[in-house]
């Protein structure tokens, strides 16, 4: 069974990798924004760190947010629409294998995005940090994709395949803006600053900036606690929508 689950994970990753509309766009999106704002408009400092480092943290956060949402929410809704879920239920593969495959696929693409941004920042962006700091930042960003993977499950079970792209953008775009990924949070209206504290992208970006040497972004522990709390909430919602979908299938 372990080998079967591993093969499921491997096939899930390869299927996403072989879809250029997903793999290329997911990778190009944060890299393109980093080139625009981290390399071209790189002068000055924000919160005690260089603009290139600051934009690296925000664009990496955006990447690890979009990769799981697009991969999981879009993939799950499409598979539900095609009836692939019924085939999975009839197979000997336990449901945990399918969930792990989706989950690991989202985290794997997040890791690829983080690695690509790090290479770009270190070569063309002139970002210099100790190896331990690079490692801590990369590990935090990849682990920070977990709440977005769980949120992807929720959206995938809530919407149809046709509605998934619009719903993902409807959730991700405002979240990115309100979390300060495009404009620093301190420059946003006070009402939006209050909303930011309830968003996982905000806490991941703030934690990343703190690990990169920024000041005034709170402790890493406080942001980790917030991300864990939000993940638990998303997991509870995912369980509810999954059980509801299972109930509909059995009723049918």
Tens digit of pLDDT for each residue in 166-214?
A: 888 899 999 999 999 988 888 889 999 999 999 999 999 999 999 998 8
CA distance 48 to 211: 12
CA distance 182 to 58: 8
When pLDDT is cut at 50, 70 and 90, the band that residue 119 belongs to is: very high
Domain count of the fold of the chain: 1
Task: Tell the residue number behind the tokens 């703030």, with chain if given.
Answer: 206
CA distance 129 to 148: 27
Provide the pairing of β-strand 45-46 with 49-50.
Answer: antiparallel
Q: Determine phi and psi for 45, rounding to 5 degrees.
A: -130, 155
Q: 118, 109, 73: which is closest to 208 by C-alpha? A: 118
Q: Look up the domain containing 175 and give its range.
A: 2-251
CA distance 208 to 231: 18
Please report, rounded to a whole number, the percentage of residues in the chain having pLDDT higher than 70: 90
Q: 161, 110, 108, 148: which is closest to 230 by C-alpha? A: 148
In this predicted structure, the answer to whether residue 251 has a pLDDT above a threshold of 80 is no
Q: Render pLDDT for 25-57 as a digit per residue (tens, 0 to 9).
A: 888 888 888 888 777 666 667 767 888 888 899
């Amino acid at each position: 069974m372990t080998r079967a689950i591993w093969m499921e994970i491997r096939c899930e990753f390869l299927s996403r990798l072989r879809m250029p509309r997903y793999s290329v766009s997911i990778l190009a999106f944060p890299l393109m924004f980093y080139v625009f704002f981290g390399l071209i408009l790189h002068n000055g400092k924000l919160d005690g760190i260089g603009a290139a480092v600051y934009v690296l943290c925000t664009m990496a956060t955006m990447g690890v947010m979009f990769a799981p949402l697009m991969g999981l929410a879009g993939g799950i809704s499409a598979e539900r629409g095609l009836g692939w879920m019924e085939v999975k239920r009839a197979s000997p593969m336990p449901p945990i294998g399918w969930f792990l495959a989706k989950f690991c696929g989202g985290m794997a693409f997040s890791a690829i995005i983080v690695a690509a941004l790090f290479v770009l920042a270190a070569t063309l962006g002139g970002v210099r940090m100790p190896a331990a700091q690079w490692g801590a930042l990369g590990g935090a960003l990849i682990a920070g994709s977990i709440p977005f993977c769980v949120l992807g499950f929720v959206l995938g079970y809530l919407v149809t395949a046709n509605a998934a792209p619009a719903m993902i953008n409807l959730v991700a775009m405002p979240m990115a803006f309100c979390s300060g990924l495009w404009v620093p949070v301190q420059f946003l209206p006070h009402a939006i600053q209050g909303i930011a504290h309830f968003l996982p992208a905000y806490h991941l970006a703030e934690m990343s900036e703190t690990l990169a040497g920024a000041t005034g972004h709170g402790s890493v522990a406080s942001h980790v606690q917030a991300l864990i709390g939000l993940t638990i909430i998303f997991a509870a919602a995912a369980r509810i929508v999954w059980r509801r979908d299972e109930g509909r299938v059995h009723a049918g």
